[in-house]
Structure 1
Amino acid sequence: MSAGGADRDADPTETSSTHEPSSLRERLRALPTFAPGLPTFDPDATPSDPVTLFRAWIEEAIDAGVPLPHAMTLATSGASREVHARTVILKDVDASGWWFATGASSPKARDLAENPHAALTFLWPVLGRQVRVAGPVTPAAPATSATDFLARPDGSRAAALVGHQSEALTSRQEYRDAFAGALARVQHDATLIDPAWTAYALAPTSVEFWQASDDRGQTRLRYRASGHDWEKGLLWP
């Protein structure tokens, strides 16, 4: 996590008309980063695999009351090589990888069909921690995807059944009507599933753990897949 430098040919604190400081820039620079009392991180005491360490870290984030600790940024890129990022919810972490789900017609699913590799980022500011995960992504079997869909709340199932994700919307009322119809279907049939709903597992080739400290020093530990084992190494912050 680092901040880039300003363009040397232009002073971002000036405007062409008033030359007054940018109030937004000042407010951004004045924002605090991490509160004192951050946990310590000893890379020498870490487990041999990243799954064990990640599960421990996310449990600590949950216990610390971090808002939405299971929210993660998913970055994908299709055949066009344009990179797309959005926030999704982590469903589970097991031997198969980091799990998430989406509709098969969504932009993220289309990207993954063209380029089945992705990256995930978790940020837990209360603990001064960030985790980055990257690797190939594999869709689950239909039965697994159906089970995931049925585990969603009624409103979430209805939202998925509406479909048309990222398509142009004529009016807000058009969406309200479509959502109300989908919700009625879900509430009428508890076994109703979206056949296009797909669960995915990202099997990482790299997992990086980043820890800030009260003295502003940083620790970066990276696990890299090596056959059936993992290699651990420190990175310069």
Structure 2
Amino acid sequence: MNSFDFERPPSEPMTALHAWMDEATRTSLPNPNAMTLATVDPDGSPSARIVLLRGLDERGAVFFTNRESRKGLALETNKVAALVFHWDCLERQIRIEGTVEHVSEEESDTYWKSRPRGSQLAARASRQSRPIEDRESFEAACRAEEARFEGREVERPAHWGGYRVALKKIEFWQGMNSRMHDRITYRFEAGDWHLERLSP
């Protein structure tokens, strides 16, 4: 069942966006919330990696990371990003483009507290994206953090938090037989959504 009617597309994308996310979640796909995050480094070089969607509403798509990592430094310099969800078993893809901002400290704290303790300790120990001597040095850093917070909650480091990608452009792609695919794109301009059909 396709919850998006490409012949009579809705005037706004949010209902279909949530419906496609829900339908992907109901499949047997591992991590249906996995998405490619593309950023632009301070020197203008492109970079992409997989992150997990942790929140989605009309304000944007949320993920969390180390803000001193390569992607974090890129987002602090060039506050734009592109996201791609691809669900092969459904022959579907969603592309999102938009500007990027920090989520609130409260949102970052709430998500941090929901993480497994081991993940919290590793996040504190990691100097993400930077060279390390060997794996043992990282494991030693994790053990040091474990000893530091023995018997108490693991504090969220100041450099770890969430980003929100504003929904400025959203494209829905549905694979069809004989490459006669469907593509509809929405752009948010002047406070309203504008849609157009694209050639596959």
Q: TM-score, normalised by structure 1?
A: 0.78
Which residue is 1:96 aligned to? Answer: 59
Matched, 1:204 2:167: yes
* Paired residues of 1:154 and 1:186 also in contact (CA < 8 A): no
Amino acid paired to 1:94: D
Task: Find the aligned partners of 2:33 and 2:139 in 1 and give their Cα distance.
Answer: 28
More strand per residue: 2
* Paired residues of 2:3 and 2:16 also in contact (CA < 8 A): no
Superposition RMSD on alpha carbons, in Å? 1.9
Q: Post-superposition shift, 1:191?
A: 5.2
Task: Find the aligned partners of 1:205 and 1:178 in 2 and give their Cα distance.
Answer: 40
Q: Post-superposition shift, 1:216?
A: 3.4
Q: 1:165 to 1:46 in 2, by over 3 A?
A: same
Matched, 1:179 2:142: yes
Amino acid paired to 2:95: R
Q: Who wins on radius of gyration, i.e. which is larger?
A: 1
* Paired residues of 2:69 and 2:129 also in contact (CA < 8 A): yes
Q: Post-superposition shift, 1:134?
A: 0.3
Unmatched tracts of structure 2, length 5 or more: none
Pairing partner for 1:62 from 25, 35, 38: 25
Pairing partner for 2:98 from 114, 135, 139: 135
* Paired residues of 1:76 and 1:85 also in contact (CA < 8 A): yes
3-state SS of paired residue (1:165):
coil
Q: Post-superposition shift, 1:86?
A: 0.7
Q: Post-superposition shift, 1:79?
A: 2.7
Q: 1:179 to 1:47 in 2, by over 3 A?
A: farther
Q: Post-superposition shift, 1:166?
A: 1.2
Percent sequence identity is 35
Matched, 1:147 2:107: no
3-state SS of paired residue (1:144):
helix
Q: 1:215 to 1:147 in 2, by over 3 A?
A: same
Which residue is 1:10 aligned to? Answer: none
Matched, 1:163 2:130: no
Amino acid paired to 1:235: L
Task: Find the aligned partners of 2:33 and 2:140 in 1 and give their Cα distance.
Answer: 30
Q: 1:187 to 1:60 in 2, by over 3 A?
A: farther
Task: Find the aligned partners of 1:51 and 1:40 in 2 and give their Cα distance.
Answer: 12
Amino acid paired to 2:72: A
Q: Post-superposition shift, 1:181?
A: 2.9
- Alignment of structure 1 residues 114-125 onto 2, 5 Å: 114-125=77-88
Structure 1 residues 146-190: Cα deviation after superposition (integer angstroms, max 9, x where no partner):
222112122221221113111111111111121233345556322
Which residue is 1:232 aligned to? Answer: 195
Q: How many residues align?
A: 200
